[in-house]
A and B are shown apart, each in its own frame.
Chain A
Amino acid sequence: MTLLVALLASTFFLSNALKLEYTKKIQNTPDIIITDTKAMRETLIDENLVSDLLSINGVSLALPRVYGAYYFSKADTIFKVIGVDEFETYPDKSLNALLLKNTLDENSMLVSKSVAKILKENYYDSYFNFVNADGTLKKVIIDKTFESKNSFREEYLIVMPKCTAKEIFSYPSSMVTDIAVMVANGEEIGFIAKKIETLLPNAKVNIKEDLLVEYENRINFKSGFFLTIFIISFFTYFVIIYDKISGLSSEEKREVGILKAIGWRVSDILNAKLYEGLIISLSAYVIGIIIAFIYVYILGAPLLKSIFLNAISLLDDCELLFRVDYETLALLFFLSVPLYIAATIIPSWSVATHEADEVMR
């Protein structure tokens, strides 16, 4: 019972924490992201399209972005590399703040503390030799380190000039990873997205809201991995309840018979069973919630988190943020405590109303 509450609560907590995480993350996401497609695959897009996009009424910003994942084989770690231009303003406030404080030249970069630590462990104290996509080496100086986990929600982050990032990923000079578009009036996002689709028929246009809905659908308890755990837990729980409600064991029956025989009225027996059910279910509820809290928010939900993230194809790591969710706590309470008490009392009542002699036989 305790384990079931803990499992269900862990899943609820994890799901809520992920929702909160991605809601926060998505706040820094542009309203529209445009990539090109070739043979149904997303590919690089021409940054010169920015001027066409800016000509659409309602578009307040069109930003060509360069970023990618760099695999550092020695440490078996993937760095997220972001290319920036000091004259540009980014939808991500943390990135803007970072760039305001630092100026980057062509061969320098800013790295997160986690990246700096890994590089240092591999004897790269002041610079790093990137292996470009074409096999050549690119030496980039570490200009500064920054704290990334709380503000960027990405642990292994490298920020460098766009031209350097393009060189490392071997992008053609006019091509970028995608174009981020900001819309002045949030209600016009869908309309403008349709305009962009008409303007660029080969482009893939992603809307922030769609992304949010997609995340929510994947994380939400109505679908996917969560639903599987939810159904399994509930099935097990109801088997326990059914087992309890379908009748007392011979030992329990005998106990009720003994109590009647020594002068306990039916109401006395039901009172005792009420307290028994209350103590067991309430303890299971409280202990289950505490276990789930420790497991998810203190230990970071080992195993379940990675299974969950893999199952919903959100492979990048994230921090589990705590928020008291009264709905979840109330739902778990009503599922565990009153139901269990009822399942304890009903069969006892049905037995206790028989003659003591008959019950003990």
Chain B
Amino acid sequence: MIELQSVRKEYKGGIVALDGVDLKLLEGELVVLRGVSGSGKSSILSLIAGLSKPTTGEVIVDKKRISKLADHFSTLYRRENIGFIFQKYNLIPTLSVQENILLPLVPQNLPKKELESRLQRELINFNIESKRDVMVRNLSGGEQQRCAIARANINNPKIILADEPTANLDEKLSLEFIKLIKEMKSQSRTIVIATHDPLFFDLACVDRVITVKNGKLL
């Protein structure tokens, strides 16, 4: 379970991204955070992922106080629990598809066989097997996104966080993404999607749509 308790997040220069946010997300839930740019959606994802710490308040995941973890431990928490799909995919352009997908596993020193089997699984799941050795800068937007999802999924994370995942995709590719999300939900993952894309708001697979406005939940 993910819980945010009276969270306030203030960035340098006094910009308040979140102001007194309380939120509870259940295991296996698919939640959509809706709101305009700058409303604070991405900050919520960032706090859940342990990418940043709240100025005040607590972020608790599976009874662990994520917001109190030292950098070293919050990284380990992220490695074991979080799959993050960034708005701009955040792939490393100088690496190939397979190198990008395997990147989260590099520090874990897994056996080669294990790496290969996980890679193969992701390449097939996300239909990018034919692009295995292609540099990601040479991929289309949809392919880049599938590569980013494969990377987020390769650690078998319990929580999938997606920040504006369809912002750079056309409708056809957005529907393809929704199909992939449905598959992930069927595997009992907790999924949080921050978006202002209306495509997500009426989906049957979405458990809750929460509106974020000016750093507060409505």
- Chain A residues within 8 Å of B, Cβ to Cβ: 254-255, 257-266, 268, 272, 353, 355-358, 360
Q: Which one of B72, B80, B107 has the greatest number of beta carbons of chain A within 10 Å?
A: B107
A259 engages B46 (CB within 8 Å):
no
B52 engages A265 (CB within 8 Å):
no
A-B contact pairs, 24 of them (CB 8 A): A257-B90, A258-B91, A258-B92, A261-B49, A261-B86, A262-B78, A262-B151, A263-B76, A263-B82, A263-B104, A263-B107, A263-B155, A264-B79, A264-B107, A265-B76, A265-B107, A266-B72, A266-B75, A353-B71, A355-B52, A357-B46, A357-B52, A358-B52, A360-B90
Residue of A nearest to B157 (CB): A263
A357 engages B51 (CB within 8 Å):
yes
How many angstroms between the C-alpha atoms of A255 and B90 in the bound complex? 8
B104 engages A265 (CB within 8 Å):
no
How many angstroms between the C-alpha atoms of A355 and B49 in the bound complex? 11
Residue of B nearest to A271 (CB): B107
How many angstroms between the C-alpha atoms of A360 and B84 in the bound complex? 13
B90 engages A254 (CB within 8 Å):
yes
A356 engages B51 (CB within 8 Å):
yes
Given A355-B53, A356-B51, A358-B52: A265 and B75 within 8 A (CB)? yes
Query: Does B218 reach chain A (CB closer than 8 Å)?
Result: no
B79 engages A263 (CB within 8 Å):
yes
- State the interface size on chain B (CB cutoff 8 A): 24
Query: Does B106 reach chain A (CB closer than 8 Å)?
Result: yes
B72 engages A355 (CB within 8 Å):
no
Residues of chain A within 8 A of B84, CB atoms compared? 261-262
How many angstroms between the C-alpha atoms of A6 and B186 in the bound complex? 60
How many angstroms between the C-alpha atoms of A254 and B82 in the bound complex? 19
Residue of B nearest to A265 (CB): B75
How many angstroms between the C-alpha atoms of A74 and B91 in the bound complex? 69
Q: Which one of A259, A262, A353 has the greatest number of beta carbons of chain B within 10 Å?
A: A262
Q: Which one of B46, B72, B82 has the greatest number of beta carbons of chain A within 10 Å?
A: B46
Residues of chain A within 8 A of B79, CB atoms compared? 262-264
Residues of chain A within 8 A of B106, CB atoms compared? 264, 268, 272
How many angstroms between the C-alpha atoms of A353 and B72 in the bound complex? 10
B160-203 CB contact bits vs A (8 Å, 1 = yes)? Answer: 00000000000000000000000000000000000000000000
A51 CB to nearest chain B CB (Å): 82
Query: Does B210 reach chain A (CB closer than 8 Å)?
Result: no
B52 engages A260 (CB within 8 Å):
no
Residue of B nearest to A359 (CB): B51
How many angstroms between the C-alpha atoms of A47 and B49 in the bound complex? 97
Query: Does B103 reach chain A (CB closer than 8 Å)?
Result: yes
Give chain B's interface secondary structure class.
helix
A355 engages B51 (CB within 8 Å):
yes
A268 engages B49 (CB within 8 Å):
no
Give me the 6 closest cross-chain CB pairs, A-B, nearest first.
Answer: A263-B79, A357-B52, A357-B51, A268-B107, A262-B104, A356-B51
Chain B residues numbered 123-159 whose CB sits less than 8 Å from any CB in chain A? 151, 155
B36 CB to nearest chain A CB (Å): 19
Residue of A nearest to B49 (CB): A261
Residue of A nearest to B78 (CB): A263
Residues of chain A within 8 A of B46, CB atoms compared? 357
How many angstroms between the C-alpha atoms of A259 and B106 in the bound complex? 10
Residues of chain B within 8 A of A268, CB atoms compared? 106-107
B72 engages A261 (CB within 8 Å):
no
Residue of B nearest to A268 (CB): B107
Chain B residues numbered 79-126 whose CB sits less than 8 Å from any CB in chain A? 79-80, 82, 84, 86, 90-92, 103-104, 106-107
How many angstroms between the C-alpha atoms of A272 and B109 in the bound complex? 13
How many angstroms between the C-alpha atoms of A260 and B82 in the bound complex? 12
Residue of B nearest to A251 (CB): B93
A262 engages B72 (CB within 8 Å):
no
Given A266-B72, A355-B51, A356-B51: A261 and B92 within 8 A (CB)? no
Residues of chain A within 8 A of B80, CB atoms compared? 263
B96 CB to nearest chain A CB (Å): 15
B71 engages A266 (CB within 8 Å):
yes
Residues of chain B within 8 A of A265, CB atoms compared? 72, 75-76, 107
Chain B residues numbered 27-78 whose CB sits less than 8 Å from any CB in chain A? 46, 49, 51-53, 71-72, 75-76, 78
Residues of chain A within 8 A of B49, CB atoms compared? 261
How many angstroms between the C-alpha atoms of A263 and B157 in the bound complex? 11
A-B contacts besides A255-B92, A263-B155, A355-B52, 8 pairs, CB < 8 Å: A257-B90, A259-B103, A260-B75, A261-B49, A263-B78, A264-B75, A355-B53, A357-B46
Q: In the complex, which of the residues B51, B53, B71, B155 contacts A261, with contact meaning CB atoms closer than 8 Å?
A: B51
B176 CB to nearest chain A CB (Å): 23
A261 engages B76 (CB within 8 Å):
no
B90 engages A261 (CB within 8 Å):
yes
Residues of chain B within 8 A of A272, CB atoms compared? 106
B161 CB to nearest chain A CB (Å): 10
B51 CB to nearest chain A CB (Å): 4
A186 CB to nearest chain B CB (Å): 64
Residue of A nearest to B53 (CB): A355
Residues of chain B within 8 A of A260, CB atoms compared? 51, 75
Residues of chain A within 8 A of B72, CB atoms compared? 265-266
How many angstroms between the C-alpha atoms of A217 and B41 in the bound complex? 71
